[in-house]
Structure 1
Amino acid sequence: MSDTTTVGPDTAGIGRTRTPTPFRRLLAVETRKLFDTRSGKIMTAVMVVLTVGAIAGRGLYAGPRLEVLIGTAGLSLGTLLPVLGILTVTGEWSHRTALTTFTLEPRRGRVLAAKCLPPLIAAVAASAFAILVAVPVTAAVSAVRHVPADWDLTPVALLGWTAANVLVVAMGLALGMLLLNAPAAIVICLSAPALWSAVARIGSVGETLAGWLDLNTTAGPLMEGHMTGGDVARLAASVSFWIVVPLATGTARVIRKEIG
């Protein structure tokens, strides 16, 4: 009888636990996705050009007033930053790469967290960039027009303005996660201020609703650096309405969503 042993398929690797993907690697990948895509590059370039152009143009028109110039930069940032956030969380579904992404990292919650952090960090970086542009423009306009510069802007107001930009991006992320449809989320996000303005003109009830649920209105005292107890309550209500609830619902939807 032969002593030869029949060797079956190698099953040594079956049951072996795959090494989890480090969160820092997920974060690096999602950050690269944010700026490596064509839309990301275009959005970043447009944001830089509009921020510099808006600050310089407003400086020549309104004079060397730092607070006004920084507030002008907020118009472009408040429009483009949430769109960047929306495209970040909807890109996997519009490009049909979600299956690959969630196969490589089945823990979808970690992927979503890695997707949300880069746009929020980008909002802080964009706010800092606008401030760094506004300061020398204020000084330059003061020198050219031979008028004293108005530097009356407190650090608390700067922090509040930056926090408001972060909240707007978080709103974009929440809507994008909830709808998983970039055009619909962008339309809702950009049209919300006009819609709430119309609601406020309906009557006292509409004005009350807008005063509590319009994020642009409730974030006003935050940007000014003067928050009362009532202001905090109204901001919390609008953040819950536009960010907390949609983000939680959207996260649950993505985690449970079947990918075909």
Structure 2
Amino acid sequence: MTVPFHRLLAVETRKLFDTRSAVVLTAVLLCLTVAAIAGRGLYAGPDLRWLIWTAGIGYTTLLPVLGILTVTNEWSHRTALTTFALEPRRWRVIAAKVVPPALAAVVASLLAMLVAVPATALTSAVQHVPAHWNATPTTMAGWTAANVLFTLMGVALGTLLLNAPAAIVVHLASTGVWNAVAMLGSAGETLARWLDLNRTIAPLATGDWADISPARLAASAAVWIVIPLLLGTARVSRKEVK
């Protein structure tokens, strides 16, 4: 009997917050969002867009880790055998694992906006300065999309490596590596502009839509999301489960 895909989604969504590491990471995200927005409001004043972007500093680090753990927990907790016995078509399981972290990134982005709005108003009242309500829907949509892409990068790395520490190290080291590559000369700078996901996503995250290069964004997304996810799915489909 075929397991309906919506049931796989429900199960993978529950798994997303069903482990101690995921619960701790979610709690850290919530606390960091509130603390970062409050701290930035006291320091920089009531600027809604800047307060929302402040939450993104932690999001670009922690949301991909959540995506990594979504995949790797299946192997570290040795539940893969049960999962794939119930659904032998492993690609469907991987497909179901991609959606919950992406939705979590959207929810986290909305949470930052909901926290930033009253924080902006409160900061304005406390500091007796006018608030800047400059977070346009277009800008926030781009910022949310950037968070989703970073999260999918984590899912892809986790699927490819099937090892949480290794995937987290690759994720955290990628920015420094590409900065080093960019310093090697014109060829290195060109490679970084095309393949560094942090660089190609930056205009999307800041709402500078005129500076977005669809070709470079697609190239870096292919290198960091599409190709690792496809290779990882092929690896999972052939990997012996013990």
Alpha-carbon distance in 2 for matches of 1:229, 1:72: 21
Identify, as 1 or 2, the structure richer in helix.
2
Instruction: Give me the whole-angstrom Cα distance separating, in 2, the residues matched to 1:108 and 1:259.
Output: 11
The structural deviation recorded for 1:227 is 3.0
1:45 aligned to 2:27? yes
Secondary structure of the residue that 2:209 maps to in structure 1?
A: coil
Aligned to 1:225: 207
Give the corresponding residue for 2:183: 201
Match of 2:48 in 1: 66
- 1:224 to partner: Cα distance: 2.8
1:120 aligns with 102
How far the C-alpha of 1:230 sits from its partner, in A, is 6.3
- What number of residue pairs does the alignment pair up? 242
State the match for 1:245 in structure 2.
227
State yes or no: 1:235 paired with 2:217. yes
Structure 1 distance, partners of 2:161, 2:30, is: 28
Find the residue that maps to 2:188 and give its secondary structure: helix
User: Are the counterparts in 1 of residues 204 and 212 from structure 2 also a CA contact under 8 Å?
Assistant: no
* 1:120 partner letter: A
Which of the two has higher C-alpha Rg? 1
Who is 2:162 aligned against?
Answer: 180
Structure 1 position 99 matched with structure 2 position 81: yes
Specify the alignment match of 2:135 in structure 1.
153
Q: Which residue of 1 aligns with 2:241?
A: 259
> Cα distance, 1:201 vs. partner?
2.0
Partner of 1:170: 152
CA shift, 1:116, in A, is 1.3
Over residues 37-78 of structure 1, what are the superposed CA-to-partner deviations in whole Å (9 max), with x where a residue is unaligned? 111110110000001000000110011111111111001111
In structure 1, distance between residues paired with 2:6 and 2:192: 40
Distance 1:227 1:140 in 2: 30
Runs (4+) of structure 1 exceeding 4 A deviation are none
- For the structure 1 residues 123 and 230, does the alpha-carbon distance in structure 2 shift closer, same or farther, using more than 3 Å as the test? closer
C-alpha distance in 2 between matches for 1:252 and 1:174: 12
Q: CA deviation at 1:194?
A: 1.7
What CA distance in whole angstroms lies between the structure 1 residues aligned with 2:60 and 2:228? 19
Q: Which residue of 2 aligns with 1:25?
A: 7
3-state SS of paired residue (2:78): coil
User: Which amino acid counterpart does residue 173 of structure 1 have in structure 2?
Assistant: V
Q: Distance in 2 between matches of 1:80 and 1:184?
A: 15
Q: CA RMSD in A?
A: 1.3
Which segment drifts farther, 32-41 or 125-134? 32-41
* Greater alpha carbon shift after TM alignment, 122-131 vs 189-198: 189-198
Shift of residue 202, structure 1, vs aligned partner: 2.2
Distance in 2, matches of 1:71 and 1:215, equals 18
Tell me by how many angstroms 1:225 deviates. 2.7
Which ranges in structure 1 are unaligned for 5 or more consecutive residues? 1-18
1:85 alignment partner, one of 49, 52, 67? 67
Distance 1:139 1:229, change over 3 A: closer
> What secondary structure does 2:17 align onto?
helix
TM-score normalised per structure 1: 0.90
Amino acid at match of 1:69: L
What is the TM-score with the length of structure 2 in the denominator?
0.96
1:35 aligns with 2:17: yes
Shift of 1:200: 1.6
- Which amino acid counterpart does residue 85 of structure 2 have in structure 1? T
C-alpha separation between the residues in 2 aligned to 1:143 and 1:210?
44
